[in-house]
Structure 1
């Protein structure tokens, strides 16, 4: 190893050994950011740079990076060591980065995951794109740095070295029939549960990271017991293929048992938690990452400076967005819009979900005139009521449709699928040409780009861009290119883009895209996990996000089930304080009047509260666009030095002024909230009572509201 540090103006280049091909290069890319790349300089990058929009190399920065051997250290402006990478390894196309992570560190980000974790230090995750999971390889540390891992493929976060296959017990399992969504529409599916078992021997007691992989593209259940004690439990009609957990294990033998579905092939990966964090990508050209130094706001602002600033979200998108699966005709939409107005329920946008194309085939970019005789007249009528229309559009097109036949003739599909190959510029252009000619003239205001993963991680084992690249190379970046195509087309057409998409990647904020958490259930645990999922998206630099308030999959007796209605109201009450407020539900008429007068009155209060806050929300939205701000704020953004605040999983700031404390349990008449340390304390938003910061307080709640506190020194009106 060379011990001498070579400093050449804006970069260091260090050869690790006399015969080594890989070299380590550090470049100042912003005043508080450095990009590190460990690669063979003779090998030119094969893939385009889809991630960064700014490529300046600064001669002077406020941070200092030093390289000694294989170790990269980054110091802040005061000369304090903030980040230290100890391993850069590129072996047979697999890239590994490891950096120090002390025990008292908190790490936030990585995107939207369903494991219920906010602090991901020590956790093992597999970053892939599937329904309900959005992988964005960006982290923020409570120690004053952020890391963006520059790889478009599958990434293992804190990969585990040990694993065991769970073996299925002999015999028949328990069967059930369920209604599910698919890329062909709604369908019934028979599922059969089975017991899987294994044993592991732990050589050393301590905290262990677990990653349960069910062995399929999507899971139906995550379940694991260790020595008879529940460790992992999550059920939904769709779940990601992996689930993560940190547990404390004693030395010795431990029995594993999992109740999963018939065709699962479960493997449990496990590793003792260490004082380090690792990113590993099995398909890579380089170890490539960017380190940001500063406060969380400074980190996110620079991240956006490098990967693209957010366009200003239209004011009308900040109000209430009403959605259901689904409206069946123009008449249904107009009747619903008129009733919202007659009931004096505020609404800004109404949404047409899938299958409006009817007889013309999946996503044929055409309304079936039997049920939608004049789509332009529909949008005109809504606009007269000051209501916008959002329409679902997919990246999948029926090959037998008129548009599909064009796409087949042009070779614009990813081989073996019905997904358009947006990696191919000609395919993207053909998609937009049809989109712009068939849909844009109808006066539609917003675009719901559904299933943009593409659904169920469908790039694995395929080739894209006329066979030029393996799907594994670009496995996580497909949603970025879908949104790029639509956004740039709308801007060129002189339209104000508003896009809702089910998946994303680093940089998607520059396309004006909002994300949501996909086809989730409705139970209390699912509700809690959407909050941590949303906070993970925010810490990864993506500001516009929401969920299906009330849950997408709902009980059949939802309109009369008091237990469900209580849950639904808590989802909606929290949604008032999300970046976007939106209700949705599968096989549901989600209108407030369908759930009884009491529920309707409470929902009406929620909607009116959203609009009372609109001046404040608009100011915050402007901060997002102009200063790289964040509206839904993990507590690390404002209270980095308050350890108790960093431990809170479900509390967050809505803008700089409001502390939100969602009620996440049934039957609550009071709720315990941690008030972070804050000079001047806090004021209860509902009662006006003042509290000092740095303490837990218990306040009364009713069915109609959740605890909200105003931070001293800030105003909202």
Structure 2
């Protein structure tokens, strides 16, 4: 019989105990954890939340790392510890972890005592190592991964894999790759690997170095970007060859490392079969694939740049998931139990909520590389308004600093003579400005000379050492005095990796620490500096920070990311959608891409093939957390591409703005409830195998299924409708469909497949030119019949932090499908400028009503004055 002991915190006092275990010395229940003394070291089980337990394995006397991820000081949750001869169990309401005294394995179970995750026997590993001649540890943990498990996450990668079970990845921060050591499983758990440096996911230890064979093709000179602006490079393809021998037939995970800080091309052929073929002006240094190989010898060819030194790593795909970090103080991970929403909500509760994004940030963000003058920027903003194309943010990209030096935090008055008047005119048009600011500063600029004198650079680089609090404060002081004074609305912190994974072999924090220790968290330090500065010095303006890289916990700094400097082709479009969904699985909620691709074809304005690509990029991006266009050396405004393209883009801008009541309410759900707006299907359909295998479909909020068109010339498309008891309704024509089936959908250039879950209620606003535009036009409340449903509508001022003081309102919409009634609840709360009376057109969606982008047939029109109403339909 198990000897069960319950320990409850009372008046801040925690009981201590010590029991003898079979193969361990002692277990003690301290104030916030249980510590097991093993022969190899100390193992701590730390309850963080009712569904979250942190595990740490370390050597006695080891100093813990600075806590960067878990910043929220929550009360220690009540938990139980029970033990018998075989095991010790720590139990909370929604998770338990069992320590097996014989194998020393940890097993995690959910509230129903179902195993969700288990360590492998002998899978805990800690080895003394060094970095820059300083002592450190290499740590590794292996977990059991059943064949039917699907795993998502680790951030935004360019390998095209959404389900990463068995896949090898190297987590570093570079342009187009955002590395976040968090995974979400279909088995009902999430796992955060608590390490700030490089992490290998499912590392492959077998490798072969490829040898140069010959050059192929003509050398090509290209325009591209660098840390000092636009650059021209001459590139020529070289072939590299090798052979590998595998002992048995089966699935193998491959990792190709090109041997440079950034790649220009991935091209991998095995036995004449093309495995990977990706071109871009910039790519991460590694990429991954899973292939089937027969036992025996295989010929390998890689194509790349002359200076590449490619190495191919491989490992058999097996029933395990592995995390390994070469630089660590301890082995440290946290397991969260629950479905996707429960996991992410708990993660945010512990690491900090995502602040509300401004209302205007959820409209259209227009960007190009670049506006060259104040006059040019204003001219294009005016034309958006004249053409009645909705827009909320126009973006000034780099080099506005001109003669003052890179990122001098001032405008060159030769091209931007009066930034204050520029801001005034933009705001009079109800257009906001986002501006590019870098963490790199020209050492010859006025600000740079001061930084150099004070020792605020990371030695050997032009990157500010944000790990040094004095350097971060210096950066913010110049940011505030140089730019904040103009009333700029949003901040684009570019190249915050820092670019090219530039902390390797460098010293940080006044040269006290090897850069490898904090290799992946530089973007967090940058965003923290800007966000905390804005909250202090611009407290009445809701912050929006846009940054190219991220890390766990960074959501608390109002930081959104995008997928970096990508190409424009169909394969790149597909990889960006997958990459974005991979990031959504890690708990960072705000993301987008350069719609249309950053690197575009030279004939983009007349190339009809590219026009099709551009339209599909924009259609998919309409349903991302943020909607944005950008392009290199391009005038990206919709009218540049002809009337047909402009017309289609205008329709999707209208749709985005009509959806704003829905999107903004989900913005509140992200902030208050830890929700996710762009949702990989594992979040809503974790037991539907076919849903889990869809790489490009996703949910937009709780109601809308998006199936982007990601190939050329599509006029009929197969879409999977996940298992859903009441089925789905086609957004465009109102046709009902069963769930759990594949269905063929007619597609044209005007339409991307959209389906709404039966029982959903969609609040749609009127057409607008900007998010906060006041209009007397009614909202449309679309009811998708077939099941009962509800939706909570959230409103506030949209521009400040008064919502943190309780100044917001909500009301609930509830549909009773059997008696065909819609109930609108009493409005709760209030805020300055709230509309006391709201006009609603209520529509039950059928093939004859409530379809497509614009308002149509109405079942009933009402005026809502904040009091409960029951409407029979």
What TM-score range do you get, normalising by the shorter chain? over 0.9
Structure 1 CA distance, aligned partners of 2:290 and 2:201?
14
Which of 27, 48, 60 is the equivalent residue of 2:66? 48
Please identify, of 703-712 and 580-589, the stretch whose mean Cα deviation from structure 2 is larger: 703-712
Corresponding residue for residue 648 of structure 1? 694
Deviations 1:433-477 (A, max 9, x none): 000111111010000000000000000000000111100100000
Structure 2 CA distance, aligned partners of 1:243 and 1:419?
26
Corresponding residue for residue 125 of structure 2? 89
Does structure 1 retain, via aligned residues, the 8 Å contact 2:152–2:162?
yes
Structure 2 CA distance, aligned partners of 1:710 and 1:82?
31
Corresponding residue for residue 73 of structure 1? 107
Structure 2 CA distance, aligned partners of 1:614 and 1:13?
49
User: Structure 2 matches for 1:489-504, cutoff 5 A?
Assistant: 489-493=533-537, 494=539, 495-504=541-550
Deviations 1:44-66 (A, max 9, x none): 12x42111112543232212112
Structure 2 CA distance, aligned partners of 1:422 and 1:545?
24
Corresponding residue for residue 186 of structure 2? 142
Which of 383, 397, 412 is the equivalent residue of 1:339? 383
CA RMSD, aligned part only?
A: 1.2
User: Structure 2 matches for 1:533-682, cutoff 5 A?
Assistant: 533-682=579-728
1:276 and 2:320 matched? yes
Structure 1 CA distance, aligned partners of 2:271 and 2:508?
46
Does structure 1 retain, via aligned residues, the 8 Å contact 2:184–2:340?
yes
Deviations 1:181-234 (A, max 9, x none): 001101110012111001111111000000000000000001100000000111
Corresponding residue for residue 207 of structure 1? 251
Structure 1 position 170, deviation (Å) = 4.5
TM-score, L = length of structure 1: 0.98
User: Structure 2 matches for 1:687-698, cutoff 5 A?
Assistant: 687-698=733-744
Structure 1 position 72, deviation (Å) = 1.0
User: Structure 2 matches for 1:311-322, cutoff 5 A?
Assistant: 311-322=355-366
Corresponding residue for residue 35 of structure 1? 54
Does structure 2 retain, via aligned residues, the 8 Å contact 1:553–1:585?
yes
Which of 241, 263, 269 is the equivalent residue of 2:307? 263
Deviations 1:493-536 (A, max 9, x none): 11321000000100110000000000000000000000000001
Structure 2 CA distance, aligned partners of 1:112 and 1:300?
17
Which of 731, 736, 743 is the equivalent residue of 1:685? 731
Structure 1 CA distance, aligned partners of 2:216 and 2:190?
49
Does structure 2 retain, via aligned residues, the 8 Å contact 1:550–1:572?
yes
Which of 18, 37, 41 is the equivalent residue of 1:15? 37
Whose Rg is larger? 2
Structure 1 CA distance, aligned partners of 2:659 and 2:23?
58
Deviations 1:325-347 (A, max 9, x none): 00011111111011100100000
Secondary structure of the corresponding residue to residue 283 of structure 1? strand
Deviations 1:156-191 (A, max 9, x none): 000012100111114676411111100110111001
Secondary structure of the corresponding residue to residue 449 of structure 2? helix
List runs of 5+ in structure 2 lacking aligned partners: 1-20, 80-91, 129-136, 764-873
Structure 1 CA distance, aligned partners of 2:285 and 2:759?
45
List runs of 5+ in structure 1 lacking aligned partners: none
Secondary structure of the corresponding residue to residue 716 of structure 1? strand
Structure 1 CA distance, aligned partners of 2:370 and 2:276?
33
Structure 1 position 16, deviation (Å) = 2.3
Count residues in correspondence: 713
Does structure 2 retain, via aligned residues, the 8 Å contact 1:70–1:88?
no
Greater RCO, CA 8 A, separation 6+: 1
Structure 2 CA distance, aligned partners of 1:116 and 1:618?
30
Please identify, of 501-510 and 489-498, the stretch whose mean Cα deviation from structure 2 is larger: 489-498
Secondary structure of the corresponding residue to residue 116 of structure 1? coil
Structure 1 CA distance, aligned partners of 2:618 and 2:389?
14
Secondary structure of the corresponding residue to residue 235 of structure 2? strand
Secondary structure of the corresponding residue to residue 304 of structure 1? helix
Structure 2 CA distance, aligned partners of 1:522 and 1:171?
26
Corresponding residue for residue 515 of structure 2? 471
Structure 1 position 67, deviation (Å) = 1.6
Structure 2 CA distance, aligned partners of 1:469 and 1:563?
51
Secondary structure of the corresponding residue to residue 404 of structure 1? helix
Secondary structure of the corresponding residue to residue 130 of structure 1? coil
Secondary structure of the corresponding residue to residue 274 of structure 1? coil
Does structure 1 retain, via aligned residues, the 8 Å contact 2:255–2:286?
yes
Structure 1 CA distance, aligned partners of 2:626 and 2:203?
34
